[in-house]
Amino acid sequence: MMMMITTQQKALAIISKCTSIPSIFGSSYIVFEVLRDPVKRQKSTYHRLLLAMSISDIFASLAIFVGTWAIPQDNSEGIYLAYGTQTTCNIQGLFIQLGIVTPLYNGMLALYFLMSINWGWKERKIQKIEKFLHAFPLIWGFGTAILCLVFQLYSNATLWCWFGNETNQATTIVRYALYYGPVIFMLLFSTTIMIQIYRYVRRQEKANEKHDIISSSQQQHNNIKIPKSSILLRDSILSFLQENTINIPSIISCSCEKQQNTNGNQQSSMILAAPVLRDNNKEFDIETTTNAEIDIEINNSNNVRGNVPVLSSPAEEKVDTKCVTTMVDVSVSTSTATGTTRSLQQPYPINNNDCITLRRKKQRQRIALKRNKHSKKVMEQSFWYLLAFYSSFLFACATRIMGSITGDPPFSLLLLFSIFFPMQGFFNFLVYIRPRFIELRTRIVTSSRISTFDQALDGQI
């Protein structure tokens, strides 16, 4: 890093101290929120990952706040406010390097979102591998920090103590191998996961939109398919029609329409259609052959739950224990051209275990829509965490790469680095409080943003 004039050095030293303060408070708020809530602390992997990341950020932000104060006085040429010793420099360098845990936990948090949304893992399954999500950041962070302390690699780095200002190849390799390399990898890793989550949620939205179009088309016709298990009912009707000299050799299709009867009770009408009849190699239409109008009504008894049964339920779906085999009255009436009317009434058993009701079908649709809505919210939250990650480390990585190429990064880039690098705890705090703030804004429209934010801080939701 270049030897800066006094004014620039003062500006960078003071700004980095100021921007680290909101990061300390932001991370402390998250730690306090998680620790005081036993549900978040004991049963939520998401909150435990945030807890560990916030604790790491507190120590790193404290080290940044100390800044130049920890730099040894005997090695402080051109350094503003250097009052430390080599011991304070080693301690500060240890916590600065330990700050690598924070970006590593960003990657683990992105992996958690991937498992939760794309892979559909439940909390209990994620908890089985949670120890590995904590192990990698902690082992790498503590291992590299202690290793550098043992080999006495911490020295004056202008704004604080770290790997020093030496421009030799060994120092550059250490910086990239132990810090900037893992940070850049986690940025790319988290970005790739974010793209995968977006594509998955987008596919879900398209599938739901397609399903809504099909459902609306079916509702326009108001038709329901009768399951194959209705063969007993069909045979009974055919037998009745044949006994009354109405020859219908086969039922090709049947449909069901629901309507309200005069008493306000729900009633379903099933229309049996045999559009083509075969007799002596000739085809006749049922209407021209019999000249009869067939009307079949299924009147649900009071103890029947739901509508007329429809498509077979999936094997993996649990059958509602309240859906039992019930008896319904089937009335069949025909009126021919001669004016005679014949009718049949008999009980017919409906096995609800072999089919599902329209109500349950719509319920599954609502669950799918709700799940997709939840996935979209989680995706948005993961995007904001990724944005906070980029905001904190993008300028730091750019400064280091520029310094490796040119040797002297521009002051404007160093200024952005000193502003944004210490602030990830504050950015994480804003992302953490965001869902609560949005929920309160939705409920209390008349409240001001400042008042809503204050309520969100108090946990009033």
Residue written as token pair 């409080």: 433
Helix or strand holding residue 270 (H, E): strand 266-273
Find, among 99, 134, 73, the residue nearest to 20 by Cα.
99
Q: What type of residue is 138?
A: L
Find, among 392, 295, 313, 415, the residue nearest to 356 by Cα.
313
Query: What tokens does 338 get?
Result: 């001669």
DSSP 3-state assignment of 349?
strand
Using CA atoms, how far residue 369 sits from 204, 216, 361, in Å, is: 9, 15, 13
Query: What tokens does 372 get?
Result: 């997709």
**pLDDT of the chain, 461 residues: tens digit per residue:** 445 457 888 999 999 999 999 999 999 999 999 999 999 999 999 999 999 999 999 999 999 999 999 999 886 777 888 999 999 999 999 999 999 999 999 999 999 999 999 998 999 999 999 999 999 999 999 999 999 999 999 999 989 999 987 667 888 899 999 999 999 999 999 999 999 999 999 888 887 777 665 555 555 444 444 444 444 555 555 555 555 544 443 333 333 344 444 444 444 344 343 333 333 333 333 333 333 344 444 343 333 333 333 223 333 333 343 333 334 444 445 544 455 555 544 444 444 444 445 556 666 667 667 777 778 888 999 999 999 999 999 999 999 999 888 878 899 999 999 999 999 999 999 999 999 999 888 888 777 888 888 888 887 65
Q: What type of residue is 288?
A: T
Report the b/e string of 24-54 with b at 16+ CB within 10 A.
Answer: bebbbbbbebbeeeeebeeebbbbbbbbbbb
Helix or strand holding residue 429 (H, E): helix 424-443
Find, among 83, 66, 61, the residue nearest to 74 by Cα.
83
Beta strand 282-284 pairing with 253-260: unpaired
Domains of the chain: 6-209+365-457 (1.20.1070.10), 228-354 (no CATH)
Helix or strand holding residue 326 (H, E): strand 326-336
pLDDT by residue (tens digit) across 382-424?
A: 999 999 999 999 999 999 999 888 878 899 999 999 999 999 9
Find, among 63, 85, 79, 99, the residue nearest to 12 by Cα.
79
Task: Check residue 456 and give its pLDDT.
Answer: 87
Q: State the Cα torsion 102-105-110-113 to the nearest 10°.
A: -130
Burial class (CB in 10 A: 0-12, 13-18, 19+), 427: buried
pLDDT by residue (tens digit) across 176-233?
A: 999 999 999 999 999 999 999 999 998 888 877 776 655 555 554 444 444 444 445 5
